[in-house]
Amino acid sequence: MARIGVFLCYCNLRAAGALNKDDVTAAVSSLSDVVHASAAEDLCLDPTCAHLQQQITADNLDGVVITTCSAATHEENLRRVLASQGLQSHQVEIVDLEDYFSWPRFETAEETTARVIEALDNAVAKIRGAQALPGVTTRITKRALVIGGGIAGIQTSLDIADAGYEVLLVEKTSSIGGHMLQYAEVFPTLDCPQCIGTPKMVEVGQHPNITIMAYSEIESVSGSVGDFTVKIRKKATYVDWDKCNGCGICQQKCLTPVASEYNQQLPFNQAKAISIPFAQAVPNKPVINREVCGHFTTGLCQVCSQICPLQAIDYDQQDTILEEKVGAIVVTAGFDLMPKKEISEFYDDPDIVHGLEFERVLCPSGPTAGVVRRPSDGKEPKEVVFVSCIGSRDPEHGVSYCSRVCCMYLAKQALLYRHVVHDGQAYVFYMDQRTTGKGYEEFVQRAVEEYGVMYLRGRVSKIFRDGDTLRVQGADTLTGQKVDIACDMVVLGMAMMPSEGAKDLARKLGIATNEYGFIAEAHPKLRPLETSVAGIYVAGTAQGPRDIPDSVAMGSGAASSVLELFSQDEVVTDTLAAAGNEG
């Protein structure tokens, strides 16, 4: 015979909800096996839940039903207190009262009260019939997998590796570094990302606890927290990286030029069919682009294999699949910019570039060596129009969220442009200035006051070519006037989107994403680094648009979550099994 206690947690918030607590306790008291039913005030406020503990002892309870607000936030704490009272998990039932019953219906008090009584009746019945099941114990493999070698992934890997655990860093391109390395200079301090990023990349490359698996992708994931089995596809590079020393003769001598992906396919310089993406790449090893390589397309060319002093070229290389065991996974898969073609309203023109393309133009180590030139004819643009919120905050054409960094990077680009082109004029069209970071607002003021960047509040309606120039038409909503600017170049602050393949990756991992493909966190405020699967964490822009400092902070945070897991030797998973009992 069970002795069940029912506790209706109650607080002032409940006054807003629809529930008659006295009706509930009265109805529940009459259920069989219920020996105690009361409304307990603010259970969450007292860490010891003294009231609960006293009642459990006083009535010698062997089953407890508690109503809470979101069970997601309170269930664990309550179960911990009850476990200390000797109640096992099958003897405890939590009813998510606020979020399931009370808040959604504060106009229908009577029905809601009836519904809650039913739910409590069900919970009591469940406890009455429940039996103990042993938990499942898993030994933790103290080895982490980090997916994505951008700045967030780099920080996560370093923090875990520095704590003494092995890290496998999987990156889909041939070098770690991510988007940060492509930028000209980074706001608000204007450091050079190549200068501050590359030492970290080198540290990752040298770290005895980190294995970089570049040019590799996740094939499949199985297992659970502490014991994941991951299959990783090491894509064929057609270069034996063990032999190659990164001398780069192959890319000098290669006969097939191609547009450089790293430089956003800008026309200023070209990469080769066999290439290392950029000078500071880690690992500094080339990859053959099979689509364009003379050997693969015509079968005639063998220049790289003949010139390589180490005979590292291997045209017959195949993809290989490796199986690795890890205990925790951190997803730092990053972002991509929304493709320009998604916004068809704008004239398709080589001189209309997106933010990342202009970063490469401004970058001192970029294809123009920091000289600002426009793609169509290589001339120095004397007037540049920057347009923010392209795709962002625009559910009609793009996405409804704010990409968070565009206000800042457009201000930075306008400032850098003016820094290089002294007689140039920069215009920025904006909807709102969202510069919420340390020193960010001051930075924008500096762009306006010191560098004379002209800010126009309003949206652009049309951009089209007019002879040698581009015409930008829009409105200045502060003066209420139409604006028509003839300029040489237009830079679009395109929306940040989850990186290509992020959705697929999330599926392989079995973790939830939001409607756009950004990885969903376990709790939007209190568990921002955990995903819906225990043992899988998220950091950086894979979770949502954010800037470099936030990505780095998140990377460190995710690493500390992994370390917390690794500080234990085993995890016990609670079990729940249902069986039908007819009658």
Partner 1 sequence: MADDNKDFEPILVGFFCNWCTSTAADLAGTTRLQYPPNIRPIRTMCSGSVDPIYILRALLSGADGIIIGGCNPGDCHYVSGNYKARRRIAGLKTILDTLGLENDRVWLKWISAAEGQKFAVTMRDFTEKIKELGPSPFRKNWSV
In the complex, the residues that contact partner 1 under the rule CB under 8 A are: 70-72, 96, 98-108, 111-112, 115, 118-119, 122, 506-507, 510, 512-515, 520, 532-533, 576, 578, 580
Whether omega for the bond prior to residue 188 falls within 30 degrees of 0, making it cis, is: yes
Which C-beta is closer to partner 1: that of 517 or that of 540? 517
- Residue 547, Cβ neighbours under 10 Å: how many? 17
Alpha carbons 221 and 242: distance in angstroms, whole number: 27
Which C-beta is closer to partner 1: that of 347 or that of 516? 516
The 8-class DSSP code of residue 468 comes to T
Asked if residue 275 lies in contact with residue 286, where contact means CB atoms within 8 angstroms, the answer is yes
All residues at 6 or more sequence positions from 14 whose CB lies less than 8 Å from its CB, including other chains = 21, 98, 102
Query: Shortest distance, CB of residue 111 to partner 1, whole angstroms?
Result: 4
Taking alpha carbons only, the member of 112, 91, 85, 97 closest to residue 40 is: 97
Asked if residue 337 lies in contact with residue 495, where contact means CB atoms within 8 angstroms, the answer is yes
| Integer CA distances (angstroms), 304 to 214, 251, 261, 270, in order | 21, 8, 20, 17
Query: Shortest distance, CB of residue 169 to partner 1, whole angstroms?
Result: 26
Which C-beta is closer to partner 1: that of 99 or that of 314? 99
**Strand ranges in 135-195 using DSSP code E only, listed in sequence order:** 136-139, 143-147, 166-170
Query: Shortest distance, CB of residue 583 to partner 1, whole angstroms?
Result: 11
Which C-beta is closer to partner 1: that of 61 or that of 529? 529
Query: Shortest distance, CB of residue 23 to partner 1, whole angstroms?
Result: 15
Alpha carbons 5 and 56: distance in angstroms, whole number: 8
Query: Shortest distance, CB of residue 112 to partner 1, whole angstroms?
Result: 5
Asked if residue 318 lies in contact with residue 490, where contact means CB atoms within 8 angstroms, the answer is no
- Residue 271, Cβ neighbours under 10 Å: how many? 23
Query: Shortest distance, CB of residue 108 to partner 1, whole angstroms?
Result: 5
Count H helices and E strands in the chain, helices first.
Answer: 15, 28
Query: Shortest distance, CB of residue 575 to partner 1, whole angstroms?
Result: 10
Query: Shortest distance, CB of residue 7 to partner 1, whole angstroms?
Result: 19
Q: Classify residue 532 as exposed, middle or buried by CB count within 10 Å of its CB (0-12, 13-18, 19+).
A: middle
- Residue 240, Cβ neighbours under 10 Å: how many? 15
Query: Shortest distance, CB of residue 533 to partner 1, whole angstroms?
Result: 7
Taking alpha carbons only, the member of 222, 216, 202 closest to residue 146 is: 216
Conformation bin of residue 425: beta by default, left when phi > 0, alpha when psi is -120 to 50: beta
The 8-class DSSP code of residue 17 comes to S
Query: Shortest distance, CB of residue 25 to partner 1, whole angstroms?
Result: 20
Which C-beta is closer to partner 1: that of 127 or that of 408? 127
Asked if residue 61 lies in contact with residue 53, where contact means CB atoms within 8 angstroms, the answer is no
Query: Shortest distance, CB of residue 518 to partner 1, whole angstroms?
Result: 9
User: CA-based diameter of the chain, in Å?
Assistant: 90
Alpha carbons 387 and 31: distance in angstroms, whole number: 66
